[in-house]
Amino acid sequence: MRVLARAAAVLAATATALLLATTASAQPTAEHDPISTPAAATASALVTKLSHSDAASRLRSSNITWSSSGGCSDRTRPNCTSFEQVNLATIQGAQTLKSATGCALNVTGGTEVGHASGTYSHYNGYKLDFALSGCLTNYIKGTFTSIGGNQWRSGSGNVYFLESNHWDVTFYNCGGC
């Protein structure tokens, strides 16, 4: 019995150490991020990650543009817009949004450092920032459900957060692709 209790304690300590190591490796926060858990509170452990070039190609094929204040795509620089290690479902969600809205979409933030940390973060591939436009704002506010705090939830569960100068979108899924 003592051996089992000791083994359970070692396993618990190992799991805690792994969790802490994962949390400690998260990127530093640069902005407040109120979206931290999905509506359904479930997520697949296996997600398909894309390279920057693959994600850019997919966005380009849907006429979705992107820009950065630094004119770059280096994931390690906060003034760049990178898609390195973005989730396939996130890019598909952007494509679904473009198709549904018919709006011009410009991505201004991807997986680069400088965003808030967390499981469903930019760095982990779940979020994109979009430049503000009347078309996009009218679609989101007129179609999705307001959940308070400048946030709207789509029917698929993705969350749209109106920040001061952009839409911060958490893609838990592809939005019905």
Q: How far apart are CA 43 and CA 48, in angstroms?
A: 13
The answer as to whether 18 is a domain residue is no
Q: In this structure, are residues 91 and 50 in contact, taking their beta carbons and an 8 Å threshold?
A: yes
In-domain check, residue 130: yes
Q: Per the domain annotation, does 119 fall within a domain?
A: yes
pLDDT of residue 24: 38
73 within domain boundaries: yes
Collapsing DSSP states into helix, strand and coil, what is residue 176? coil
- Alpha-carbon span 146 to 99, nearest angstrom: 21
The reply to whether 34 falls in a domain is no
Question: How many C-beta atoms lie closer than 10 Å to residue 18's C-beta?
Answer: 10
Most distant pair of Cα atoms in the chain: their distance: 66
Does residue 30 form part of some domain?
Answer: no
The verdict on residue 79 lying in a domain is yes
pLDDT digits (tens, 9 = 90+) for 68-77: 999 999 999 9
pTM: 0.76
Domain membership of residue 145 as a residue range: 49-170
